[in-house]
């Protein structure tokens, strides 16, 4: 049966490819055998075409495990297809057309699940395997904040499904979940906390993009057991771009690649690092990251805001009702809603203007977009037309004075300094030293720290930024929480280092020039002193940077070596 692509997208239903369903089965069946579960009930709460259950059933039969299956989905067509598929298999299976978050329309999840379990699995659920929906509109639900711990902040529907899985899996039950890589972001900390405090995660595999034909989502697999052995270690793997290409082209075995890329990360380490899935943090990395994280964070010394909520194309529309202007909608549509008067606007009937150009005019102000930002400096050449009623240009005070500008999109981090009171758009973060801090902490010092190898090392290890992805970006919270050295202003070496950094960075940033290698090494040397990071630790930092995909934000940091930083000591 064919499925409408738009309908699947609306449901967040990105059906699992065979290679991943077979991989999950190979990971989960041994866990079932290890727990002596030779007769189990397996559930998929968002079963779709039931390929996950099919792969599990096939593997379980090979291993002599008796089982019965239960599939749940809101899409009746998917349920009917699953029933038809399993008619060809000799196994006990049931498929239910309901919503796994609120089965049978229950007033609470508990009431619906009580009915469901009593009817189909009175002995409990031994295994749950799932590729839950992602990105689905949740406004249809009215009591999520009341019923789910994860329904706070910028949550996704898959957070609710993971909470449901953990809640209704029986003790010592096994789970395997395919999730988008947003699970690693700050917004999904509560979900990671639920998994780390209620289950023993056995493995985390960062697969990356390309496995789902419908979308360019980077995905990961999480699997484990519902018990809590905090002394255990998580087997973590992170595939690089070459790995994915070879697997998808049939030139490499996914199981072999995962084993080759695996490291063991203590669960306690993940818990102590604010419930982070630090899958790239080896035993060599942990002490360095702990040392860096014992310092302060950027937020304590600087403010961080975004520029105008406008793309670099600069196209705006004028409402046909109230006459005010607003940014052209990102999604292609014939009718849009005016954000000011809330009336519907037919796009073809509305006036449109492009207010960003390379021309300097009386009403134009200098503007920086993401691609204008380089390491330590910015390039110029764009202008934005000001004075259009309805466009939120934000306070001019935001743009005044020397300021750090950070590019939101891209791998690693790119930060420069603007000395020309330029405005910025939405993909640029504006960072300014707080007025209450010591004046030795200048915009140049903040820029140098953000541009340092140490900060790139933190981003690689904590954010998993090892190469190209479709939509790489740092959130404001990511930038806000990056390490900043805890400074002793009574120490002459500290004050000398801060002054030297400001002097060196300012000289080249004002000229809009790349920092020469010897100067780059001297800036890094002073940052190393401020963070108390030594030569042996820097060897690990450089090794990490050299091992990731050599895109410009990473390769440019290898223009010097450890010896260049520490040639005269610190």
CATH of the domain at 216: 3.40.50.150
Residues 479, 336 share a domain: no
Residue ranges making up the domain that contains 505 = 365-384+394-566
pLDDT at res. 3: 38
For 512-539, write each residue's pLDDT tens digit: 889 999 999 999 999 999 999 999 999 9
Q: Is the pLDDT reported for residue 21 higher than 70?
A: yes
Q: Is the pLDDT reported for residue 570 higher than 60?
A: no
Give the C-alpha separation, 203 to 224, whole Å.
Answer: 7
Q: Is the pLDDT reported for residue 1 higher than 50?
A: no
Q: Where are the beta strands (DSSP E) in 239-381?
A: 263-266, 296-297, 302-306, 315-318, 325-327, 335-337, 344-346, 351-354, 356-357, 364-368
Residue 539 lies in a domain: yes
Give the C-alpha separation, 393 to 563, whole Å.
Answer: 47
Residues 338, 267 share a domain: no
Cα-based angle 186, 287, 453 (whole degrees, multiple of 5): 70
For 138, the 3-state DSSP assignment is: coil
Q: Provide the CATH number for the domain around residue 375.
A: 3.90.220
Tally of residues, the chain? 570
Residue 161 lies in a domain: yes
Residues 449, 426 share a domain: yes
CB 551 within 8 A of CB 411: yes
Residues 560, 442 share a domain: yes
The fraction of the chain above a pLDDT of 70, given in percent, is: 96
Q: Is the pLDDT reported for residue 363 higher than 50?
A: yes
Mean pLDDT of 535-557: 93
Mean pLDDT of 7-22: 68
Split at pLDDT 50, 70, 90, the class of 9 is very low
For 423-453, write each residue's pLDDT tens digit: 999 999 999 999 999 999 999 999 999 999 9
Q: Is the pLDDT reported for residue 271 higher than 50?
A: yes
Residue 302 lies in a domain: no
pLDDT at res. 10: 44
User: In 3D, which of 43, 82, 38 has the Cα closest to residue 60?
Assistant: 38
pLDDT at res. 513: 87
Residues 398, 350 share a domain: no
Residues 251, 380 share a domain: no
- What total of structural domains would you count in the chain? 3
Partners of residue 234 on adjacent β-strands: 265
pLDDT at res. 336: 93
Helix H or strand E segment including 519: helix 517-531
Split at pLDDT 50, 70, 90, the class of 11 is very low
Q: Which two tokens stand for residue 131?
A: 């590729």
Residues 332, 186 share a domain: no
Split at pLDDT 50, 70, 90, the class of 12 is very low
Residues 344, 373 share a domain: no
Q: Is the pLDDT reported for residue 283 higher than 60?
A: yes
Give the C-alpha separation, 15 to 178, whole Å.
Answer: 11
The residue with greater pLDDT, 229 or 76, is 76
The residue with greater pLDDT, 8 or 224, is 224
| Least confident range of 40-44, 59-63, 428-432 | 59-63
Q: Is the pLDDT reported for residue 6 higher than 50?
A: no
Residues 504, 429 share a domain: yes
DSSP-derived secondary structure letter, 378: B
Residues 21, 161 share a domain: yes
């Amino acid at each position: 049966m064919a499925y409408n692509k738009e309908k699947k997208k609306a449901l967040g239903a990105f059906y699992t490819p065979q290679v991943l369903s077979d991989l999950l089965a190979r990971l989960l069946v041994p866990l079932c055998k290890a727990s002596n579960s030779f007769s189990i009930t397996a559930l998929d709460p968002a079963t779709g075409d039931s390929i996950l259950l099919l792969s599990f059933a096939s593997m379980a039969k090979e291993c002599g495990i008796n089982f019965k299956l239960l599939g749940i989905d809101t899409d009746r067509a998917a349920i009917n297809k699953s029933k038809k598929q399993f008619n060809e298999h000799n196994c006990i299976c049931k498929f239910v057309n309901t919503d796994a978050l609120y089965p049978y329309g229950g007033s609470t999840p508990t009431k619906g699940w009580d009915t469901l379990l009593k009817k189909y699995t009175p002995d409990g659920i031994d295994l749950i395997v799932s590729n839950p929906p992602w990105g689905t509109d949740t406004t249809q639900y009215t009591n999520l904040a009341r019923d789910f711990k994860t329904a706070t902040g910028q949550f996704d529907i898959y957070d609710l499904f993971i909470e449901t899985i953990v809640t209704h899996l029986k003790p010592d039950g096994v789970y395997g979940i395919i999730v988008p890589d947003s699970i690693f972001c700050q917004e999904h900390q509560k979900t990671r906390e639920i998994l780390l405090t209620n289950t023993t995660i056995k493995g985390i595999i960062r697969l990356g993009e390309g496995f789902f034909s419908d979308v360019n989502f980077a995905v990961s697999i999480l699997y484990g057991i519902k018990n809590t052995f905090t002394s255990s270690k998580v087997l973590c793997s992170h595939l690089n771009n070459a790995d994915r290409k070879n697997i998808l082209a049939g030139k490499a075995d996914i199981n072999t690649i995962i084993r080759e890329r695996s490291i063991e990360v203590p669960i306690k380490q993940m818990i102590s690092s604010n419930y982070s899935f630090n899958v790239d943090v080896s035993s060599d990395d942990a002490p360095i990251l702990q040392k860096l994280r014992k310092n302060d964070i950027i937020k304590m010394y600087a403010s961080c805001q975004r520029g105008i909520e406008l793309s670099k194309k600069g196209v705006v529309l004028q409402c046909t009702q109230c006459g005010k202007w607003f940014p052209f909608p990102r999604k292609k549509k014939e009718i849009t809603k005016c954000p000011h008067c809330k009336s519907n606007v037919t796009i073809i009937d509305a006036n449109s203007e492009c207010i960003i150009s390379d021309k300097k005019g009386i009403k134009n102000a200098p503007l920086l977009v993401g691609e204008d930002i380089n390491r330590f400096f910015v390039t110029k050449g764009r202008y934005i037309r000001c004075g259009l009623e309805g466009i939120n240009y934000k306070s001019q005070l935001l743009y005044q004075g020397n300021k750090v500008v950070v590019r939101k999109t891209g791998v690693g981090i790119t930060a420069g300094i603007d000395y020309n009171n330029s405005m910025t758009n939405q993909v640029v973060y504006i960072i300014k030293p707080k007025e209450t801090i010591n004046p030795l902490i200048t915009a140049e010092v903040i820029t140098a720290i953000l541009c340092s190898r140490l900060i790139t090392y933190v981003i690689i290890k904590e954010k998993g930024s090892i190469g190209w992805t479709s939509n790489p970006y740092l959130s404001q919270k990511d930038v806000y929480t990056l390490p900043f050295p805890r400074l002793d202003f009574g120490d002459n070496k500290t004050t000398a280092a801060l002054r030297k950094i400001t002097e060196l960075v300012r000289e080249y940033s004002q000229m809009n020039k790349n920092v020469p290698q010897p100067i780059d090494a001297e800036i890094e040397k002073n940052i190393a002193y401020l963070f108390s990071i030594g030569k042996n630790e820097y060897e690990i930092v450089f090794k990490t940077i050299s091992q990731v995909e050599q895109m410009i934000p990473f390769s440019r940091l290898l223009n010097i070596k450890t010896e260049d930083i520490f040639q005269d000591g610190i």
